[in-house]
Structure 1
Amino acid sequence: MSPVIYAIILLAVGVLLIGIEVAIIPGFGLVGVLGAGALLYGAFIAYQNYGSAWGFAAIGFGAAAAGLGVYWSFKLGFTKRLVLEDQVVGDSSDLPAQAEKLVGQVGIAVSDLHPAGIARINGQRIDVVAADGEYIESGTAIEIININQNSVVIQRHLAQETTL
């Protein structure tokens, strides 16, 4: 087989593999690496057998074909499945509204806090952080001492008797 045909086949396979990577298997995985390798090897064959002009032409062809493939995949809608179009519904945390009320509240550590974990305060599960990175075991009575931006800072409750 002639080197020019071999180079053209490698360039076409490289463009096809990169197109598959962009349109069908998003990410930069094995298919994309194989496609880039086929493009580079096809350009190398063209460069080695026909000189630098043909080598650069092969690189330009590969880049242009890959660019057109990406453009067409966006234009024809292949990439619509990569973008979330549905609206996410739900309420954001109302922690800032309750922050002043929570300081001083007593609860129970639901998980081990080392230093972060989950506590139950007034029947509500809240992500908390132990002050000074302290390790607090599950089931220990805790008290909220501070609300720092989105972090609820707690410490061990001095009076371990609690009825939560």
Structure 2
Amino acid sequence: MLDYFLIAFLILAGISLIIVEIIFVPGTTIVGILGFLVGVYGVYRSYELYGVDTGHIVLAVSMAAGLTAIILSFKSGAWNKFSNKSVMKTPVNEGLTSALEIGQEGKCISSLKPVGKAEFDNKEYEVSSLGPFVLENTAIKIIKLERNKIIVEPIN
């Protein structure tokens, strides 16, 4: 009788860990793999202790229970309280380059590798160079403005 409880516990624990992986910790795969292995071990024990016929039944019931549990966990919406529902209504960095123009000069606040910080008219911006490494405090000028991207080059 204890073996039945052990097998049921292993299979339910495996299904629970897989659901936790899918809903709460996606991307780590460790919890999901652990859940899969625990469930497989529970099914293996049923084959080992009770034979092939019972093992097939336990395997089929476990697969059906796992699939049902996953579907119900998504349909219930209980996991929605853990999700981020905020929405950004405006584009990021909108109007960032409106005060800048091609040929405008400034200086690097940080080194550009090829991205870094620069200052134009006492205002800080994130800028990119087209290639070479540019040291901090180097004089630069804007050579291209693409939407909200500022491309600069050092002034020689």
User: Residue in 2 aligned with 1:136?
Assistant: 134
The one-letter amino acid of 1:143's match is K
Instruction: Determine the C-alpha separation between the residues in 2 that align with 1:108 and 1:59.
Output: 68
Q: Any conservation in 1 of the 2:94–2:148 contact (CA below 8 Å)?
A: no
Deviation at 1:51, TM superposition (A): 4.0
Please say if residues 97 and 145 of structure 2, whose CA atoms lie closer than 8 Å, have aligned partners that are also in contact. Answer: no
Counterpart amino acid of 1:9? F
Q: What does 1:34-53 correspond to in 2, within 5 Å? A: 34-53=34-53
Question: How many Å apart are 1:106 and its aligned residue?
Answer: 0.8
- Say which SS state the counterpart of residue 98 (structure 2) adopts: helix
Instruction: Name the counterpart of 1:59.
Output: 59
1:86 matched to 2:86? The reply is: yes
Matched-pair contact (CA < 8 Å) for 1:111–1:138: yes
CA 1:48–1:92 in structure 2 vs 1: closer, same or farther (change >3 Å)?
same
The Cα offsets for residues 59-117 of structure 1, whole Å up to 9 and x where unpaired, read as 33233222222223233322203432222245532358739x52111111111111111
3-state SS, counterpart of residue 141 of structure 2: strand
Distance change in 2, residues 1:91/1:18 (3 Å): closer
Provide the aligned C-alpha RMSD in A: 3.0
Structure 1 CA distance for aligned equivalents of residues 17 and 151 of structure 2:
51
**In 2, Cα distance between equivalents of 1:30 and 1:39:** 14
Gap runs ≥5 in structure 2: none
Out of 139, 155, 158, the residue aligned to residue 153 of structure 2 is 155
* Preserved CA contact (<8 Å) 1:145 1:155: yes
**Identity score, percent:** 25
Give the drift of 1:135.
1.4
Letter in 2 for 1:139: N
Equivalent residues of 2:97, 2:148 under 8 A apart = no
TM-score by length of 2: 0.76
Contact 1:11 1:58 in 2 (8 A): no
Distance 1:91 1:12, change over 3 A: closer
Amino acid at match of 1:79: W
Q: CA deviation at 1:55?
A: 3.1
Q: TM-score, normalised by structure 1?
A: 0.73
How many Å separate the matches in 2 of 1:90 and 1:148?
Answer: 18
2:12 counterpart residue number: 12
